[in-house]
A and B are shown apart, each in its own frame.
Chain A
Amino acid sequence: MLAALRTVIRRDLLLAMRNKSDAANTLLFFVIVSSLFPLGVGPEPALLRTIAPGVVWVAALLASMLALARLFAADYADGTLEQLALAPQPLAAFVAAKILAHWLVSGLPLVLIAPLLGLQFDLSGTALLTLMASLLIGTPVLSLLGAVGAALTLGLRASGVLVPLIVLPLTVPVLVFGAGAVEAASSGLGAQAHLSLLGAFLLISAALSPWAAAVGIRIALE
């Protein structure tokens, strides 16, 4: 079974390598949206520091929504999803593998570039590290929740708009505690509690959402 899961991850990474624009679009969107704010609100360091965690987190949220519509759509269109559904392994395991590959391509780059964006907002060293940590724990939750939305809207015409509408409300706790972690760190309170809660979200969504998404896919295929 592990070999089959490795195959799915390797395949999705290979496809991302051959088709780099998809991953690049997400990253560029993230960079551009979060860079617009310092330009828009003006170069007032105190103000920028205050809005930084929220702005970067909201930009990450929107960027990951952008990538979600493609998570299962291509496999659905070319028939690969049917083959996965008829494979000897549980579909939920394949879904988990696909989510992991999707996060590596579209979530991890956001985490890695975030400190650079944080500099525009004059964030301190600890705040930058906390921002990275909160994104590292939080963006997989976005991919996991998003997978459920992507599975539920599979085959619908307006799925590009529907996915964010379904998923964004669910991501509110992640946004609150993700941005809250950075604020807590910069005000000297320590981000431990926020990060622990994010970790709890990650565990719960990792345990549940592949199953939910697999059910959604089976319904779409029927």
Chain B
Amino acid sequence: MLEARELEATRGSATLFRGIGFALRPGALLRVTGANGSGKTSLLRVLCGLAAPSAGEVRWNGTDVRALREDYWKQLAYVGHANALKDELTAAENLEIACALAGLDAAPARVQAAIARFGLAGRERLPVKLLSQGQRRRAALARLALSEALPLWILDEPFSALDADAVERVQSAAGEHLARGGMIVLTTHQEARIEARSATDINLGDGRTEARPSH
């Protein structure tokens, strides 16, 4: 279970958000919304343990994530704003490397299936620099298809640059993850249609948390 208590983040002297708290249980989805510059990415980086909050704490199964470190990170899949792809390598090579670093099984058949699942079949042998922006995002997100063993997914704007077809694919992968008891935190501007037992929205603009009826 992922819990946040009284989180506050500042940039320079300005407060981005304060008093953010929630508890995310298995099978639950948390959607972080807010205007540009409201601190969505900062919140996700705090939840990942990459950045320290200026107040409050994030707990994973009851322990502060800044103390758990590697024990927390081995349960976490984070897709950031940057795609973390190497331009000179192919999508398949990028995926294999990402999985090997995260300690996931990257058998060629699984990598192939993940690439096909995100609609990049036929392009897996091209260097990533020859792919379009949307295709690169797909290649970055294809990692999720290999991350079913990681309980917590934290996704920063997963739908940016994606077309309707790719959005559909990401949503179905996310829905499956929640159905098997995974947890997802994501930021997005668009309405995400993800099947979830429980879904919560946090708006960083007004700091309000509201439970949403699941779709």
A binds B: yes
Binding site for B on A (CB under 8 A): 3-4, 7-8, 11, 14-15, 18-19, 77-80, 82-90, 94, 221-222
Quote the shortest CB–CB distance from A95 to chain B (angstroms).
Answer: 13
Highest count of chain B CB atoms <10 Å: which of A11, A86, A89:
A86
Is there a chain A Cβ closer than 8 Å to B107's Cβ?
no
Highest count of chain B CB atoms <10 Å: which of A83, A85, A221:
A83
Binding site for A on B (CB under 8 A): 48-52, 70, 73-74, 76, 78, 80-89, 93, 97-98, 100-103, 127
Q: A3-B100, A222-B50 are in contact. Are A83 and B84 (CB under 8 A)?
A: yes
Residues of B within 8 A of A86 (CB): 48-50, 73, 76, 78
Highest count of chain B CB atoms <10 Å: which of A3, A11, A18, A222:
A11
A4 and B100 alpha carbons, distance in the complex (Å): 6
**A4, B88: Cβ atoms under 8 Å?**
no
**Of B70, B83, B100, B103, the contact of A79 (CB 8 Å cutoff):** B83
Residues of B within 8 A of A83 (CB): 78, 80, 84, 98, 101-102
Q: How many residue pairs, one in A and one in B, have C-beta atoms under 8 Å apart?
A: 74
Chain A residues touching B, majority SS: helix
**A82, B100: Cβ atoms under 8 Å?**
no
A222 and B87 alpha carbons, distance in the complex (Å): 25
Q: A78-B83, A79-B80, A82-B78 are in contact. Are A221 and B50 (CB under 8 A)?
A: yes
**A89, B70: Cβ atoms under 8 Å?**
yes
Q: A85-B50, A222-B50, A222-B52 are in contact. Are A78 and B82 (CB under 8 A)?
A: yes
A83: nearest residue on chain B (CB-CB)?
B84
**A7, B86: Cβ atoms under 8 Å?**
no
**Of A80, A221, A222, the contact of B86 (CB 8 Å cutoff):** A80
A85 and B85 alpha carbons, distance in the complex (Å): 15
A136 and B93 alpha carbons, distance in the complex (Å): 32
Q: A80-B86, A83-B84 are in contact. Are A88 and B78 (CB under 8 A)?
A: no
Residues of B within 8 A of A77 (CB): 82
**A79, B50: Cβ atoms under 8 Å?**
no
**Of A8, A80, A221, the contact of B84 (CB 8 Å cutoff):** A80
A90 and B101 alpha carbons, distance in the complex (Å): 11
**Of A19, A79, A89, the contact of B88 (CB 8 Å cutoff):** A19
**A15, B86: Cβ atoms under 8 Å?**
yes
List 17 A-B pairs, Cβ < 8 Å: A4-B103, A11-B89, A14-B88, A15-B86, A78-B86, A82-B78, A82-B80, A83-B78, A83-B80, A85-B50, A87-B70, A87-B102, A88-B73, A88-B74, A89-B101, A94-B101, A221-B50
Highest count of chain A CB atoms <10 Å: which of B49, B81, B100:
B100
Q: A11-B86, A18-B88, A78-B82 are in contact. Are A4 and B51 (CB under 8 A)?
A: no
**Of A7, A15, A19, A80, the contact of B100 (CB 8 Å cutoff):** A7
A222 and B48 alpha carbons, distance in the complex (Å): 11
**Of A18, A19, A88, A222, the contact of B70 (CB 8 Å cutoff):** A88
**B73, A87: Cβ atoms under 8 Å?**
yes
A90 and B74 alpha carbons, distance in the complex (Å): 11
